[in-house]
Every structure is written in structure tokens, then in C-alpha cells.
Amino acid sequence: MENEKHHIVPYKVYIYILVALIAMTFMSIGITKINLGEYSVLGAMIFATLKSILVLSWFMHLKFDQPFLRIMVGFVALLFFAVIFITFLDYYFR
């Protein structure tokens, strides 16, 4: 227990994160309101991804944890997207 895992995140930081998250929520609602055609999905998904990165790194402390946890999370995400990608090789080219 000698390593720096006792890092305590100040309350202020959490509030900033929350504000950012809520702002992005409204932005993603906004972006789907203006008609961007098929890009609106993309826009909404980009915001969702940014939001989840915030949640993962601060709320879930990944930023302060050992790097191998981050690697694992990245690996799981990668695996999942690869699976979706390969599934689409079927549906997209059918």
C-alpha cells in the first residue's frame, strides 16, 4: 500500500467534470436538432464517447490508477469495436 493510490480528488474537480458532462449533453441534443443528416449520429456518438472518457478517467479514477487498468479498459473497448466491425463486414456487404 506504499504507492500513491491515496490520491484524493478535490470536490471542485468533480463539479467541473459534472458541468462539462451536462454541457456536452446539451450539445449533443443541439447537434441532433440541427439537421446534419447522417452525421448527426456521428456527432452524438462523439459526444457520448467524450463523456464516457470523462467519466472513466475522473469519476472512475482511471487517471489515478495503475496504468495496466487503463490498458485493460482500452483493450476491452478495442475488442468490442473490432467485433462490431467484423459483424458489419457481413451486413454492410450483403
Partner 1 sequence: MEHVAQHSDPHYDQEASKLGMWLFIFTELLLFGGLFIVYAIYRFLNPEAFQMAGHELNITIGAINTIILLVSSMTIAMSTSALQKKNKGLTVLLLEITIMLALIFLINKYFEWGVKFDHGIWPGSEHLLNDMGHGEVLFFGLYFVMTGLHALHIVIGMIIIIVALNKVQKGTVHADRPSLLENAGLYWHLVDLIWIFLFPLFYLIH
Partner 2 sequence: MQTATQLEHEVNYLDYKGKYKGIFAWIFSTDHKRIALLYMYSMLTMFVVGVALGLAMKLELIAPGKTIMDPQTYNAVFTVHGVIMIFMIVIPGLPAVFGNFMLPIMIGAKDVAFPKINLLSWYFYVAGALLVISSVLFGNGTPDTGWTFYAPYSFKSGTNLLPAIFGAFVLGFSSILTGLNFIVTIHRMRAPGMTWFKMPLFPWSLYGTAWIQLLATPVIGITLVLVALERIFNIGVFDPALGGDPILYQHLFWIYSHPAVYVMILPAMGAISEIIPTFSQKHIFGYRAIIVSTLAIAFVGYFVWGHHMFTSGMSGTAQYTFSILTFIVAIPSAIKVFNWISTMHKGSINPEAPFLWAVTFIFVFMIGGFSGLVLGALATNVHVHDTAFVVAHFHFIVFGGVGFAFFGAIHYWFPKMFGRMYDKVWAKVGWAFFTVGFLTLYSPMFYLGMMGMPRRYYDYLPEFHAGNILSTLGSWVMTFGLLIIVINLFRSAKNGAIASINPWNSKTLEWTVPSPPPLENFDEIPVYGEKDGPYEY
User: Residue from 4, 10, 35, 92 that binds partner 2 (CB under 8 A)?
Assistant: 92
* Residue 29 or 71 having the CB closest to partner 2: 71
* Residue 11 or 91 having the CB closest to partner 2: 91
19 binds partner 2 (CB under 8 A): no
CA dihedral 55, 58, 62, 65 (to 10 degrees): -160
Q: 42, 46, 51: which is closest to 22 by C-alpha? A: 51
Phi, psi (5° rounding) for residue 35? -80, 105
6 binds partner 1 (CB under 8 A): yes
What does the DSSP 8-state code read for residue 65? Answer: S
Please report which helix (H) or strand (E) contains residue 20, including its range: helix 11-33
93 binds partner 1 (CB under 8 A): no
User: Residue from 1, 8, 34, 89 that binds partner 2 (CB under 8 A)?
Assistant: 89
Residues of the shown chain interacting with partner 2 in the complex, contacts defined by CB under 8 A? 76, 79, 82-83, 86-87, 89-94
